[in-house]
Amino acid sequence: MKSTKLIILDRDGVINHDSDQYIKSPDEWRPIPGSLEAIARLTQWGYRIVVATNQSGIGQGLFEMDTLNAIHEKMIKAASQMGGRIEAVFFCPHINGDECACRKPKPGMFEEIATRYNMNLTGVPAVGDSLRDLLAAREAGAKPMLVLTGKGRKTQADPAFPPDTPVFADLAAAVASLAK
């Protein structure tokens, strides 16, 4: 049975530990405690789970596409082993200077998700840890949710932080709030 419920998750700082040096190999990808269980819970509740992630390490030449694919395969497999299903991973390989439409805070990745799923993103939960995640979600009409993992605490302290954005300790807490 196909569900019409969709949720969009950022990757680094939401699902897995982030690194200022970038996640450049599958070995560096480590899930944040509780995140894979949260993805499993979403799957059980009938959500379609997609990841939207900026991956400028590609554009900077820090790692190749096959490495990014291997990192995503590890993430998808780890979620699957917990009973979760990540349906798709959307990513922007560009650097800030590329002026692309897909790099968050621009809404291009979210617009691509809306097109791919043939749906309006109004009210769709979008969980992120950075201001750019929240701004992209909001511009696309989705419902931004901040987690305090990754860059979340710094984001919450940013003067540009939208005060009406719900804040959660981590992905597990954000997911728990959806159990209505």
> Is 158 tagged catalytic?
no
Classify domain 6-176 by CATH number. Answer: 3.40.50.1000
pLDDT attached to residue 179: 87
Could you report how far apart the first and last alpha carbons of the chain are, in Å? 20
Q: How many of the other CB atoms lie within 10 Å of CB of 11? A: 24
The domain ranges of the chain are 6-176
Which residue of the set 10, 129, 133, 170 is catalytic? 10
Which residue of the set 12, 129, 133, 170 is catalytic? 12
> Is 98 tagged catalytic?
no
What residues contact 77, with CB distance under 8 A and at least 6 apart?
A: none
pLDDT attached to residue 4: 66
pLDDT attached to residue 139: 96
Structure tokens at 130: 């950075």
Cut 0.75: pTM above it: yes
**pLDDT average per 10 residues of sequence, the chain (180 residues):** 78 97 97 98 97 96 97 98 98 94 97 97 97 97 98 97 96 93
How far apart CA 141 and CA 112 sit, in angstroms, is 13
pLDDT attached to residue 1: 37
